[in-house]
Amino acid sequence: MTATTVHRSLPRYGGFTLGMIALELRRLIRNKRTVVFSVVMPPAFFLLFGTSADYRTERAGDGNVTGYVLISMAVYGAMLATTSGGAMVSIERAAGWSRQLRLTPLTPAAYVAVKLTLAMIIGLVSVLVVNVTGLFFGADLPTGEWIGCAALAWVCALVFAAFGLFMGYLLPSENVMQILSPALALLSFAGGLFVPLDALGHTFATIAKFTPVYGVGELARYPVTHSGHLWQAVLNVIAWTLVFSAGAMWRFRRDTARV
Amino acid sequence: MFLMTLTASTDLAVPGTQQPAVHLDGVVKRFGTVTAVNGLDLRIRPGEVVALLGPNGAGKTTTVDMLLGLSQPTQGTVRVYGRAPQEAVALGQVSAVMQSGGLLKDYTVEETVRLTAVLFGKPRDAVRGALRRAGIADIADRLVGKCSGGQQQRLRFAMALLPDPELLILDEPTTGMDVGGRREFWDAIRQDARGGRTVIFATHYLEEADAYADRVVLVRRGRIVADGTASEVKALAAGRTVRATLPGARPADLDAIPGVESSEIRGDNVYLHGQDSDAIARHLLTRTEARDLEITSRNLEDAFLTLTADEENPA
């Protein structure tokens, strides 16, 4: 009998391995929808809305308006990418894959860690693609500040990885991004990412400060603009991270409870 | 009225010398007001191939879920090789082929098995081995979404083989397969079980239980109604028929034979029905001129229908 000769032990880190991340990444790239959302759409939007001749010459903070739009689109791309990364759990739950994984040593916490890592990897790819596009199409920002903006756009997108995870557990849909993508566009308008808040009127601008995209946008642009309410933006990012993480934890506990 | 449980198979186990592969002790599972499993006691020895047979809603899948640690019993204990099921699953001591789902369409067959290997910390060649043993090495690069139902089931089987489990659980493994697919799947399982693996499969296909199990555990309404070899279970419900050539037999004489419940004469042939076919045969051979004896059970389907009929039995 084979039983007695097999050495059995549990994996380290609850099954969180580079091998799994590599395989998951391969699958992610195979999904055209994800690629379009996170790698094609954001630079396309940048080219569409940010590269007119006026924008290239007009100044905004330490750079030109094209640079300003570039940062906004990098934030938008990172947001879409990390949300879709987190929302993968919805598809996997619908397919019964999460249940299958419970028949392996992978712990639920390691599973979530893998999803967050993946979300941040595609978020990074999205930010890089948008910024490289900007490099060739007239964005003008001081190098140090440019890198600072890109880094902030990426790091702050963790909020949306948590958001995607929360929605992925909340919505039983196989096409959760069809709901989330318009929702993110709406939140981007509301948070002053596509249109400056000053253009929206006082009441709306006040409400906007409490929406989740506001903080990330303000923070990511801060190295260039040096303007806006820094502490309000930081508070906004922290508060929404807490809200989405708490929501994801709540649904996650419910999902993995052994009834 | 019939005997509720057979104990014939337990005498093979030597108490205290062998850890049971599965030990269910007074297991009850309720979902709200519905009782899915109602007091299951079951011991399965290593190396046994056991069919968990019952109609839909009998509590088979609920039992399988508890064996895999996917759900907890409301009462009683579940032990797999002496461990909590969750722990045995994480160690790869027990694995399962589930009924449906559990696969991602945009992985290839090979990637799906490789991911399982990564999680269980198994080397790359274990992947090839599992694909080969499940008979899907030739479609390794196919996307899961493009595989047929039978191929997907063999993929689940390959994943289940990867940790080299001591106990393999199959939950209605051939649902939705065509006849050919079913035979190929069972050939693979049978081949594998020769190595001494314990196998438990839930099924409502009687012929599968009959053909592949050493032991059949018949479940109805969350309780075990019969437990024994396929032929024991058959005999339990329907008894056996002893046919013999006995010219000139008289009905009254036949009915007087100990153990005979009913009899029939067709020409020179007599057909005697009863639970204790051995006693009937012995009587025929020693006290009468009967020759050319044949003992047959009714098929498992009859047993199944009799035992799982939805009437309460006053014991």
The full length of chain A comes to 259
| pLDDT on residue A46 | 94
Residue by residue, DSSP assigns A181-250 as: HHHHHHHHHHTTSSS-GGGG-HHHHHHHTTSHHHHHHHHHHHHHH--S-HHHHHHHHHHHHHHHHHHHHH
Is the CB of residue B261 less than 8 Å from the CB of residue B239? yes
First to last CA, chain A: 34
Structural domain spans, chain A: 13-254
**Residue of chain A minimizing CA distance to B97:** A100
| pLDDT on residue B310 | 57
* A152-157 average pLDDT score: 95
**Cα separation, B207 vs B182, whole angstroms:** 11
Detail the DSSP E strand segments found in B246-297.
262-266, 269-274, 291-297
* B261-289 average pLDDT score: 88
* B177-193 average pLDDT score: 82
Judged by a CB distance cut-off of 8 A, whether residue A29 touches chain B is no
Is A96 within 8 Å of B120 when comparing Cβ atoms?
Answer: no
**Residue of chain A minimizing CA distance to B74:** A259
Q: Do β-strands A63-64 and B49-53 pair in parallel, antiparallel, or remain unpaired?
A: unpaired
* pLDDT of B9 strictly over 60: no
* A99-121 average pLDDT score: 92
pLDDT single digits (tens) A38-67: 899 999 999 999 888 888 888 888 889 999
Highest average pLDDT, of A4-18, A163-177, B53-67, comes from B53-67
| pLDDT on residue A142 | 93
- Percentage of chain A exceeding pLDDT 70: 97
**Cα separation, B21 vs B197, whole angstroms:** 10
Question: Which residues of A are less than 8 Å from B106 in CB distance?
Answer: 27, 30-31
3-state secondary structure of B29: strand
Instruction: Pull the structure tokens for residue B50.
Output: 């056991």
Residue by residue, DSSP assigns A24-53 as: HHHHHHH-HHHHIIIIIHHHHHHHHHH--H
3-state secondary structure of A55: helix
pLDDT single digits (tens) A76-106: 999 999 999 888 889 898 888 988 999 999 9
| Interface predicted TM-score (ipTM) of this complex, two decimals | 0.87
**Cα separation, A42 vs A75, whole angstroms:** 9
Q: How far is CA A136 from the centre of its chain?
A: 24
| pLDDT on residue A259 | 64
Question: Which residues of B are less than 8 Å from A103 in CB distance?
Answer: 68, 70, 89, 95-96, 98
| pLDDT on residue B309 | 67
Is the CB of residue A98 less than 8 Å from the CB of residue A89? yes
| pLDDT on residue A203 | 87
* pLDDT of B42 strictly over 80: yes
Is the CB of residue B180 less than 8 Å from the CB of residue B26? no
Query: Residue with structure tokens 């199959």?
Result: B170
**Residue of chain A minimizing CA distance to B160:** A103
pLDDT single digits (tens) B95-147: 999 888 899 999 999 999 999 999 999 999 999 999 998 889 999 999 999 99
Is A26 within 8 Å of B111 when comparing Cβ atoms?
Answer: yes
DSSP letter (8 states) at residue B51: E
Give chain B's domains with CATH numbers: 8-93+165-234 (3.40.50.300), 240-297 (3.30.70)
**Cα separation, B72 vs B30, whole angstroms:** 10
**Cα separation, B220 vs B55, whole angstroms:** 7
Is B119 within 8 Å of A15 when comparing Cβ atoms?
Answer: yes
Tell me the longest C-alpha to C-alpha distance in chain B: 74
Q: How far is CA B313 from the centre of its chain?
A: 24
Which residue of A4, A6, A8 to mutate against B (max B Cβ within 10 Å)?
A8
Is B119 within 8 Å of A20 when comparing Cβ atoms?
Answer: yes
Of B46, B115, B120, which is closest to A1 when you measure between CB atoms? B46
* B15-22 average pLDDT score: 75
Backbone angles phi, psi at A191, to 5 degrees: -90, 10
pLDDT single digits (tens) A198-252: 777 888 888 889 999 999 999 999 999 888 789 999 999 999 999 999 999 888 8
Query: Residue with structure tokens 């004896």?
Result: B293
Considering chain A, what is the average pLDDT of its residues?
89
Is A30 within 8 Å of B47 when comparing Cβ atoms?
Answer: no
Is B116 within 8 Å of A10 when comparing Cβ atoms?
Answer: no
Host H or E run for residue A60: strand A59-60
pLDDT single digits (tens) B124-135: 999 999 999 888
Residue by residue, DSSP assigns B129-177 as: HHHHHTT-GGGTTSBGGGS-HHHHHHHHHHHHHTT--SEEEEESTTTT-
**Cα separation, B272 vs B268, whole angstroms:** 13
Closest CA to B16 of B43, B51, B48: B43
Q: Is the dihedral of CA A116, A118, A119, A121 positive or negative?
A: positive
* pLDDT of B92 strictly over 90: yes
* pLDDT of A188 strictly over 60: yes
Distance from CA of A125 to the nearest CA of B (A): 21
- Lay out the sheet containing B75-80: strands in order across: B34-44, B22-31, B75-80
Query: Which one has a higher pLDDT value, A214 or B188?
Result: A214
Considering chain B, what is the average pLDDT of its residues?
86
| pLDDT on residue A172 | 74
Question: Which residues of A are less than 8 Å from B155 in CB distance?
Answer: none
- Percentage of chain B exceeding pLDDT 70: 88
Indicate the pLDDT class of residue B306, thresholds 50, 70 and 90.
low
Q: Do β-strands B262-266 and B269-274 pair in parallel, antiparallel, or remain unpaired?
A: antiparallel
| pLDDT on residue B7 | 42
| pLDDT on residue B6 | 43
**Residue of chain B minimizing CA distance to A89:** B104
Q: Is B77 exposed, middle or buried (0-12, 13-18, 19+ CB in 10 A)?
A: exposed
Host H or E run for residue A59: strand A59-60
Detail the DSSP E strand segments found in chain B.
22-31, 34-44, 49-53, 75-80, 94-97, 167-171, 198-203, 215-220, 223-228, 240-245, 262-266, 269-274, 291-297
